């Protein structure tokens, strides 16, 4: 089982020589999810030798250009590479119209089917569930409707300790009952508790993605205890007024949310290119939340391996 996040772009608004525009590649057990798709995302994928054709799900947080302009080129390239597999796009409902009109205008045909999964851009909702992993979208506070995403592994099916199958002579019906979480009752009425009959299921891992947003207390409730939180930190603390008027967060804001939510690790990114040294972001965030790292393009963070 693998669960990792690769930062494809960590700059806000404008790309720099060192930082591309926002996009993250999430690998959960060899299923690939792309979150946001700033201009240049497909180049980043190529640089990192990530196979774009393996991406079957694209999530778009909001309709600002620095988070979405890369999708047109990426879809076009996927088509040129002969993709046949369906692609799911989770987005503000208006993106479907935008993508369709773009390809209509350029008289470009796409070789595969795009299945749009529009979400309500202001409500908490479950947008994906495959039995192993679920993704919940929740509203952030930005100049336009914008969603955060939390990926959580789902409880795995209980596995019976094989020793007890022979020892107790368990039949199919008993096994199904135990897998459902029930206790087992011996003919003499003695009860064997479920947790004694099943193997430990192991920890469940999680990842949350929050950009772009003003600091918002409600976020902490949605992302409680996640293993890794990516939170935007567009500005340094001394530019808090600017962060407020542009509906973004400072390094300190991101760290406060991490602290409130009790997350295990914080990664900050979406830096404004006005600053020369990102080390100040790290210093300001660590002052509040020690286990903080800076997003770097190409950085792969293992949530579990």
Catalytic residues: 66
Q: Per CB under 5 A, which region of 90-98, 161-169, 209-217, 262-270 contacts Zn ion?
A: 209-217
Task: Return the exposure string of 124-139: e unless at least 16 CB atoms fall within 10 Å of the residue's CB, then b.
Answer: beebbeeeebbbbbbb
The distance of closest approach from Cβ of residue 234 to Zn ion in the complex, given in angstroms and rounded to an integer, is: 9
The distance of closest approach from Cβ of residue 206 to Zn ion in the complex, given in angstroms and rounded to an integer, is: 24
Q: In terms of CB distance, is 24 or 64 closer to Zn ion?
A: 64
The distance of closest approach from Cβ of residue 153 to Zn ion in the complex, given in angstroms and rounded to an integer, is: 29
Q: Per CB under 5 A, which region of 60-68, 77-85, 177-185, 198-206 contacts Zn ion?
A: 60-68
- Scanning residues 117 to 176, which ones bind Zn ion (CB under 5 A)? none
The distance of closest approach from Cβ of residue 53 to Zn ion in the complex, given in angstroms and rounded to an integer, is: 28
Q: In terms of CB distance, is 25 or 60 closer to Zn ion?
A: 60
Report whether the peptide linkage leading into residue 212 is cis, meaning its omega lies within 30 degrees of zero: yes
Q: In terms of CB distance, is 12 or 42 closer to Zn ion?
A: 12
Query: Quick one: how far is CA 185 from the chain centroid?
Result: 43
19 is written with which tokens? 């930082």
Q: In terms of CB distance, is 212 or 278 closer to Zn ion?
A: 212
The distance of closest approach from Cβ of residue 184 to Zn ion in the complex, given in angstroms and rounded to an integer, is: 54
| 64 is a contact residue toward Zn ion (CB under 5 A) | yes
Q: Per CB under 5 A, which region of 26-34, 47-55, 207-215, 260-268 contacts Zn ion?
A: 207-215
Q: Per CB under 5 A, which region of 132-140, 212-220, 250-258, 264-272 contacts Zn ion?
A: 212-220
What sign has the CA pseudo-torsion 75, 298, 272, 216?
A: positive
Q: Which residue is nearest to Zn ion (CB)?
A: 64
The C-alpha atoms of residue 283 and residue 95 are separated, in whole angstroms, by 38
* Residues 6 or more apart in contact with residue 275 via CB below 8 angstroms: 236, 281
Residue 264 CB coordination number (10 Å): 14
Q: In terms of CB distance, is 92 or 212 closer to Zn ion?
A: 212
The C-alpha atoms of residue 268 and residue 88 are separated, in whole angstroms, by 27
Among 36, 92, 212, 253, binds Zn ion (CB under 5 A): 212
Binding site for Zn ion (CB under 5 A): 64, 212
């Amino acid at each position: 089982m693998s669960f990792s996040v690769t930062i494809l772009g960590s700059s806000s608004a404008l790309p720099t020589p060192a930082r591309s525009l926002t996009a993250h590649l999430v690998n959960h057990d060899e299923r690939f999810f792309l979150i946001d798709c700033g201009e240049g995302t497909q180049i980043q994928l190529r640089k990192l030798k990530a196979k774009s054709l393996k991406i079957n799900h694209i999530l778009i947080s909001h309709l600002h250009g620095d988070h979405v302009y890369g999708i047109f080129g990426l879809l076009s390239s996927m088509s040129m590479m002969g993709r046949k597999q369906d692609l799911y796009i989770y987005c503000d409902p208006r993106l479907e119209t935008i993508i369709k009109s773009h390809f209509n205008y350029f008289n470009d045909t796409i070789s595969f089917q795009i299945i749009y999964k529009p979400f309500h851009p202001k409500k908490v909702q479950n947008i994906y569930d495959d039995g192993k992993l679920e993704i919940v979208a929740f509203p952030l506070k930005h100049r336009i409707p914008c969603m955060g995403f939390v990926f959580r592994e789902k409880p795995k099916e209980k596995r019976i300790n094989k020793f007890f199958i022979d020892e107790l002579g368990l039949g199919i019906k008993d096994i199904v009952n135990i897998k459902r979480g029930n206790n087992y009752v011996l003919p003499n009425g003695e009860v064997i508790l479920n947790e004694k009959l099943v193997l430990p299921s192991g920890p469940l891992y999680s990842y949350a993605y929050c950009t772009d947003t003003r600091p918002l207390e409600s976020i902490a409730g949605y992302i409680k205890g996640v293993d890794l939180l990516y939170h935007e930190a567009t500005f340094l603390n001394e530019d808090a007024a600017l962060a407020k008027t542009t509906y973004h967060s400072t390094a300190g804001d991101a760290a406060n949310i991490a602290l409130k939510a009790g997350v295990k690790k914080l990664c900050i990114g979406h830096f404004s290119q006005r600053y020369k040294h990102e080390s100040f972001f790290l210093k300001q965030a660590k002052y509040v939340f020690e286990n903080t790292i800076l997003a770097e393009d190409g950085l792969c963070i293992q949530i579990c391996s």
